[in-house]
Amino acid sequence: MNSNNENLQQQSKRSQKEECLALARQAGIETDRIPSHIAIIMDGNGRWAKQRGLNRSFGHQKGVETVKEITTTAARLGVNYLTLYTFSTENWNRPADEVAALMSLILTAMEEDLFMKNNVSLQIIGELDRIPDNVREAILGLRDRTSVNTGMTVILALSYSSKWEITGAVRRIAEKVKRGELQPEAIEEQTIADELATAFMPDPDLLIRTGGELRLSNYLLWQCAYSELYFCDTYWPDFDTQAFFKAIADYQSRERRYGKTSEQVADTSTIAQ
């Protein structure tokens, strides 16, 4: 009986994945060229709520539903890494009641069933020592329990900023130099990259920011040196699967040159073929 249930679940998952890929193709996406790593700045929750005469916390609650939808869609598309700017170090300066509400919502968003159903694992980057004990213990526990999953990895950037991350990397490198473990002239870009919180994953191919702002807000500054940036006016609570498809289709329409000319990129592609 259990075997039959497992087979039905697997068939359902395959059907949902195939349906998602079909919808993506209808939206103009080449499903064999999905970005491996997508990073998102989830902006606009507060303004979404204000437009409707609601407390900011309602915007954050609606934003949690968007997190679940986009996580599910990304997993079905075959995205390998999805990094979500969940809470910045600057967000600690917000009103205490809003910070408390955000911390509570993080627990709501991190449903174990969401991760297990989609074969998704969890990682966290940021100053976790600043996170309330109950929240930190819950997300670290979920990280450990989902480590068996082999599909997409969701990375929560929580109490995170690039300045904090790079400062920490520089400090650790300086300590190695001081101990005589590393010569200053041996320091290269990779030396720094290896000390970043994101050393376990590739740099983002695509960074999406919702909410209409045109800045990176201290998010993955080192890692996004060659990422494609996509800004949209849609507030995060309204950013649905079709909006996600639109961002990916836009990404696929671009030519990633990494400082080269179009001709050089074309030559490289020809050689690779």
Q: How does pLDDT run across 184-230, given as a tens digit for each residue?
A: 999 999 999 999 999 999 999 999 999 999 999 999 999 999 999 99
CA distance linking residue 53 with residue 156, whole number of Å: 29
Handedness of CA 109, 27, 118, 155 (dihedral sign): negative
60, pLDDT greater than 70: yes
- Asked whether residue 22 is domain-assigned, the answer is no
- Asked if 91 is an active-site residue, the reply is yes
> Which of helix, strand or coil describes residue 214?
coil
CA distance linking residue 5 with residue 46, whole number of Å: 42
- Asked whether residue 46 is domain-assigned, the answer is yes
30, pLDDT greater than 90: yes
Least Cα distance to 162 among 236, 85, 230 occurs for 85
* Residue 6 pLDDT grade (very low, low, confident, very high; cuts 50, 70, 90): low
Contact 207, 230 (CB under 8 A): yes
- Asked whether residue 272 is domain-assigned, the answer is no
Domains contained in the chain, number: 1
Burial of 133 (C-beta count, 10 Å sphere; 0-12/13-18/19+): exposed
CA distance linking residue 200 with residue 222, whole number of Å: 14
Phi-psi region of 119 (alpha: psi -120 to 50; beta: other; left: phi over 0): left
> Which of helix, strand or coil describes residue 72?
helix
Cβ neighbours for 217, distance < 8 A, ≥ 6 positions apart:
41, 43, 85, 88, 90
271, pLDDT greater than 60: no
How far, CA to CA in Å, does 8 sit from each of 4, 16, 56, 71, 75?
6, 12, 41, 22, 19
- Asked whether residue 25 is domain-assigned, the answer is no
The catalytically annotated residue of 43, 45, 203, 205 is 43
What angle, rounded to 10 degrees, do the helices at 56-77 and 96-109 form?
30
Q: Which of 34-38, 108-112, 262-266 is predicted least confidently?
A: 262-266
* Residue 3 pLDDT grade (very low, low, confident, very high; cuts 50, 70, 90): low
Q: Which domain holds residue 237?
A: 32-253
> Which of helix, strand or coil describes residue 128?
helix
- Asked if 43 is an active-site residue, the reply is yes
The catalytically annotated residue of 55, 80, 91, 149 is 91
pLDDT, mean of residues 104-118:
91
Number of other residues whose CB lies within 10 A of the CB of residue 136: 17
* Residue 256 pLDDT grade (very low, low, confident, very high; cuts 50, 70, 90): confident
Q: Identify the pLDDT of residue 61.
A: 94
Q: What's the CATH code of the domain at 96?
A: 3.40.1180.10
174, pLDDT greater than 80: yes
Task: State percent of the chain over pLDDT 70.
Answer: 91
Q: Which of 34-38, 155-159, 261-265 is predicted least confidently?
A: 261-265
Higher pLDDT, 187 or 106: 187
Q: Identify the pLDDT of residue 269.
A: 56
- Asked whether residue 20 is domain-assigned, the answer is no
- Asked whether residue 6 is domain-assigned, the answer is no
- Asked whether residue 267 is domain-assigned, the answer is no
- Asked whether residue 130 is domain-assigned, the answer is yes
Strands 228-231 and 81-88: unpaired
Cβ neighbours for 159, distance < 8 A, ≥ 6 positions apart:
87, 88, 89, 91, 92, 126, 127, 128, 130, 131
Dihedral of the CA atoms 218, 61, 207, 74 (nearest 10)? 150
* Residue 22 pLDDT grade (very low, low, confident, very high; cuts 50, 70, 90): very high
